[in-house]
Chain A
């Protein structure tokens, strides 16, 4: 602190540390070279101090000199700062004025640009376009010749420039005409193919290509609009080949496996029959390729190929949908000897096994598609036709289901129809298996009756008739697929006449199923008449029995007992 003896003490005390340290730094430059000796020396003769500080600038000298007060330094700084800012302001003003002038000058040529740049003040005092400028030429007579010469030269240069530009645009025109021609050709190609697809009654729509987000035309080849609720919607992009304009067919797959090539699968039906305790293959359906629409093009033209591709995609989508719906249905039918093992639905019925299998389509493996190897003898192929028919039946039923869905969709949405829509389930497998079982049931019933009649044929006169599918009359058809939608009803009508006393039993047996086609329901009623006369008039009938059964054993027992009673009745 003593080193700063030249600063008056009263001032020193007022300075804070943060002010003091910079001050010392300014005066002494650095603490680096200060030693105790040098400081002592300095204190001893403070007069020498002014010598080295003479090199620093004036302002510092003023500070340095102990005579000048701190206030003065600040004053000088303040005034100089004010002066500087004044100068800057003036310069700014001058610049904007000159810019204003330029704007005014411009206003006669480009009024719009001038209007936006001119200051409001000037635009008020001087109307736009009131200032003009022109190039001054020397215009002296003796320079006329030189001027002419110059003009001629500039014309020549201009000619060169323009020739250059015209050459340039000629090549430009040439090039762009060829590219445009190419483009037109591509467009023509593209729209031709689109038109072919369109005239093949396909549904097209505008969309964006998910690959690059560009505009593209999509095609809906799936059955979504026809009532299918399968999760694969069946949309594709008709992508344009940028070099030829040809259209390629690219199915859209939802989910992550976009790049993966689609594996086509088709459904194959097999029938295995039990022979000597072993199940042997006795029939198999063949793959019927999708019938190509004949568009009038040669078979290898790109348009024909495109149509075939669409057809193929649609065909396999249908097969996929069918198998999906079949498995959906089959998983509820495990109680009825129907099981699902990986990609197979297995139905066991009456010593036969019907297998519905989803098989990967392999174009190269023709043997498997036409199952040539299998048709080695009559025996192993005897059910081929039936397999084919089953396949046709399943497909028909899926169409039927689509139709039902579509009708639901078209109805006015209410809570009821919405609920129906949400719970709509296919009716494909059940009617098929149901009808097979039903047919078996009728046979069984007939056998039971025949057995009983044989047993009592000495005591009784028997007339029996069977009316199959009595609920399905051909005269009032609302739905041609009624047989697979409504449960079947068949009636056995049996008249038993007792030789002994001419009493008559009228036995009516109604054979039907429940709503899902699978269960057996038998309703039986027995009415007793005392003579055939009364039977004809349906008079004085006596209800003997009215019962429902779910089992053939029960009804056999019951019938046996009733007839026995009847035979021995007095």
Chain B
């Protein structure tokens, strides 16, 4: 595997792990038994910051998918073997048709007044 894809996979893994971890943290912090007031205040703020981190990580996952798509679309070279035609084939036909075209252009038709 390319180093880039390994890095991407790692990023996805760590992101998901952190999301789960932060979610768990929120619940752990929610317990308030025999805790001093100061700690409770800090904990309630921790809940909010954890939530923000989760949202940010989700957005990051979206950007991972975006960069994946970009790499798929732009980073690859398309070579369609079925579309590649044999060049020699048809040359003669093109030659004939082209000469015919040139001749038809080069020839002058009969003078118009001769037709009328």
B40 touches A157 (CB 8 A): yes
**Complexed CA–CA distance, A396 and B100 (Å):** 13
B74 touches A166 (CB 8 A): no
- Tell me which of A158, A191, A204 contacts B40 (CB under 8 A): A158
A217 touches B30 (CB 8 A): no
Chain B residue numbers with a CB within 8 Å of A191 are: 69, 73
Is B112 an interface residue, CB under 8 A from the partner? Answer: yes
**Complexed CA–CA distance, A204 and B108 (Å):** 47
Is A438 an interface residue, CB under 8 A from the partner? Answer: yes
- Tell me which of B47, B73, B109 contacts A166 (CB under 8 A): B47
CB within 8 Å of A: which of B72-111? 73-74, 78, 91-92, 94-96, 98-99, 101-109, 111
Is B8 an interface residue, CB under 8 A from the partner? Answer: no
**Complexed CA–CA distance, A198 and B50 (Å):** 40
Is A484 an interface residue, CB under 8 A from the partner? Answer: yes
B102 touches A275 (CB 8 A): no
**Complexed CA–CA distance, A206 and B66 (Å):** 13
Is A122 an interface residue, CB under 8 A from the partner? Answer: no
Knowing A273-B112, A436-B105, A439-B107 are in contact, say whether A205-B37 is a contact too (CB < 8 A): no
A204 touches B112 (CB 8 A): no
B51 touches A172 (CB 8 A): yes
A154 touches B40 (CB 8 A): yes
Chain B residue numbers with a CB within 8 Å of A435 are: 102, 105-106
Knowing A393-B102, A484-B102 are in contact, say whether A176-B58 is a contact too (CB < 8 A): yes
B74 touches A205 (CB 8 A): yes
Is A180 an interface residue, CB under 8 A from the partner? Answer: yes
Is A195 an interface residue, CB under 8 A from the partner? Answer: yes
Interface string of A128-171 (1 = CB under 8 A from B): 00000000000000000000000100110111011011101100
Chain B residue numbers with a CB within 8 Å of A176 are: 55, 58
CB within 8 Å of A: which of B24-62? 26, 30, 32-37, 40-41, 43-45, 47-48, 50-52, 54-55, 58-59, 62
Chain B residue numbers with a CB within 8 Å of A275 are: 112-113
B32 touches A206 (CB 8 A): no
**Complexed CA–CA distance, A73 and B38 (Å):** 59
Is B116 an interface residue, CB under 8 A from the partner? Answer: yes
**Complexed CA–CA distance, A484 and B105 (Å):** 12
Find the residue from B37, B43, B54 having the highest chain A CB count within 10 A: B37
A166 touches B40 (CB 8 A): no
- Tell me which of B30, B58, B104, B108 contacts A180 (CB under 8 A): B58
Chain A residue numbers with a CB within 8 Å of B40 are: 154-155, 157-158, 161-162
A180 touches B62 (CB 8 A): yes
Q: Specify the chain B residue showing the minimal Cβ separation from A396.
A: B98
B44 touches A474 (CB 8 A): no
A173 touches B104 (CB 8 A): no
Is B13 an interface residue, CB under 8 A from the partner? Answer: no
13 contacts between A and B (CB under 8 A): A155-B32, A155-B33, A157-B40, A158-B32, A159-B32, A161-B41, A183-B62, A201-B78, A382-B109, A396-B98, A439-B103, A439-B107, A472-B99
The 3 closest A-B pairs by CB, nearest first: A158-B40, A169-B51, A480-B94
Residues of A within 8 A of B (CB): 151, 154-155, 157-159, 161-162, 164-166, 168-169, 172-173, 176, 180, 183-184, 187, 191, 194-195, 198, 201, 204-206, 217, 273, 275-276, 282, 350-352, 379, 382-383, 386, 389-390, 392-393, 396, 431-432, 435-436, 438-440, 472, 474, 477, 480-484
